[in-house]
């Protein structure tokens, strides 16, 4: 087997250069003769890493000064609960736009804490399509409006911003963070688990506008309280230092590669190659409307679960890993996050062509 490509949806592949740097520094970080995971999170060198990682992340997304960047634990699911605990205020309710597994799960969790209204934005016919996203007339009644701009399981991405008037817009960007340019100032809060585009599992980034901090309901546990975490540099408890270190290397790597603009260009190129191939294929099909096709998670099926299983098994024999679709949907899914080189997509297409010739 010549080269292996990992299409896992998450935890997902990391940039090779980052893994190699971490390997080199593993037993001797910053000339300390210890690894980064063995030093105090409050020591000078680790605090320097923290400061640089926040500054690099701010630069990557051009995050305005009135936003805090928190590095928390508990995954995106932790935020499903933390968001209502911190953001539900005078209005006492929030609106969740749902159109897939993760947005629906976020709404379900939020219901433990507050009154939640839900609007299904997915128009399902023979294709999955997201309808018009104008909620400006109703959004005022809510403390915030939550949505998931990239549904990892179905591969449905929302490129237009929902119009929520002056209401606070909250986005779960777990599977498309840092994949393309966004205007952070349009959001009240953005959050993402690290394990797809930022680093390994175990750390969660929250970008939150400062005026939204400080209003948590009083029984909010300190680790979920944005004010407490913001005042303690996200260190009210011991942070996952090794995961944070790896994220900091990923940010530097992305900046050296040309930042988000360069990532977006590459991501659009990779996704277009794959979707163009799918569109002309007689064996495979993708069932997402063109304007909502995810740049990160490309789903496809032969329409026959037996043949899909054969595809996944033979792909693996050919060095193409983790192409099985999520169990709730079946079929196949190729996750092509920032770290996936274009060679990986080309190798996948070459295999798909061969499989189609043999099984079409």
- Residues binding ligand PMP (CB under 6 A): 10, 75-77, 102, 148, 152, 172, 174-175, 193
Task: Tell me whether residue 109 or residue 283 sits nearer to ligand PMP (CB atom).
Answer: 109
Instruction: Report, in Å, the least distance between residue 48 CB and ligand PMP.
Output: 27
**What is the rounded distance in angstroms from the CA atom of residue 40 to the CA atom of residue 22?**
18
Tell me the residue number closest to ligand PMP, measured at CB: 75
Sort 242 into a burial class: Cβ within 10 Å, 0-12 / 13-18 / 19+: middle
Phi-psi sector, 83: left (phi>0), alpha (psi -120 to 50), beta: alpha
Reply yes or no on whether 132 is catalytic. Answer: no
One of 29, 102, 224, 244 is an active-site residue; which one?
102
Instruction: Report, in Å, the least distance between residue 206 CB and ligand PMP.
Output: 12
Task: Tell me whether residue 10 or residue 199 sits nearer to ligand PMP (CB atom).
Answer: 10
**What is the rounded distance in angstroms from the CA atom of residue 4 to the CA atom of residue 344?**
8
Task: Tell me whether residue 155 or residue 259 sits nearer to ligand PMP (CB atom).
Answer: 155
Task: Tell me whether residue 286 or residue 294 sits nearer to ligand PMP (CB atom).
Answer: 294
Task: Tell me whether residue 155 or residue 283 sits nearer to ligand PMP (CB atom).
Answer: 155
Residue 192 has φ and ψ, to the nearest 5°, of -160, 135
One of 29, 196, 224, 244 is an active-site residue; which one?
196
Instruction: Report, in Å, the least distance between residue 177 CB and ligand PMP.
Output: 10
Instruction: Report, in Å, the least distance between residue 202 CB and ligand PMP.
Output: 9
Instruction: Report, in Å, the least distance between residue 31 CB and ligand PMP.
Output: 34
**What is the rounded distance in angstroms from the CA atom of residue 212 to the CA atom of residue 81?**
16
Reply yes or no on whether 196 is catalytic. Answer: yes
Residues of the binding site for pyridoxal 5'-phosphate: 76-77, 102, 152, 172, 195, 237-238
Reply yes or no on whether 102 is catalytic. Answer: yes
Mind telling me the catalytic residues?
102, 172, 196
């Amino acid at each position: 087997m010549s080269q292996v490509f990992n299409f896992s949806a998450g935890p997902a592949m990391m940039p090779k250069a980052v893994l190699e740097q971490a390997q080199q520094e593993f037993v001797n970080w910053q000339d300390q003769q210890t690894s980064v995971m063995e030093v105090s999170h409050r020591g000078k060198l680790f605090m320097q890493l923290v400061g640089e990682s926040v500054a690099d992340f701010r630069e990557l997304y051009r995050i305005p000064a009135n936003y805090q960047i928190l590095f928390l634990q508990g995954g995106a699911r932790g935020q499903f609960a933390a968001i209502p605990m911190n953001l539900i205020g005078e209005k006492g309710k929030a609106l969740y736009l749902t159109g897939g597994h993760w947005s629906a799960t976020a709404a379900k969790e939020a219901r433990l804490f507050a009154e939640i209204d839900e609007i299904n934005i997915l128009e399902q016919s023979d294709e999955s399509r997201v309808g018009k996203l104008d909620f400006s007339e109703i959004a005022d009644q809510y403390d915030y409006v939550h949505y998931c701009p990239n549904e990892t399981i179905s591969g449905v991405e929302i490129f237009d911003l929902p119009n929520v008037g002056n209401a606070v817009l909250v986005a779960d960007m777990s599977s498309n963070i840092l994949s393309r340019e966004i205007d952070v100032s349009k959001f009240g809060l953005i959050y993402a688990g690290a394990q797809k585009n930022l680093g390994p599992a175990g750390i969660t980034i929250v970008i939150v506008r400062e005026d939204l901090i400080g209003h948590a309901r009083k029984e909010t546990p300190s680790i979920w309280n944005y004010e407490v975490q913001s005042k303690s540099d996200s260190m009210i408890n011991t942070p996952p230092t090794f995961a944070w270190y790896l994220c900091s290397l990923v940010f530097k790597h992305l900046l050296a590669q040309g930042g988000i603009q360069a990532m977006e260009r590459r991501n659009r190129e990779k996704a277009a190659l794959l979707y163009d191939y799918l569109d002309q294929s007689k064996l495979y099909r993708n069932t997402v409307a063109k304007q909502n096709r995810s740049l990160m998670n490309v789903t496809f099926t032969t329409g026959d679960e037996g043949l899909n299983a054969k595809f996944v098994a033979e792909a693996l024999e050919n060095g193409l890993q983790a192409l099985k679709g999520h169990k709730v949907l079946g079929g196949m899914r190729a996750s092509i996050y920032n770290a996936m080189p274009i060679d990986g997509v080309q190798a996948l297409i070459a295999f798909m062509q061969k499989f189609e010739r043999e099984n079409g």
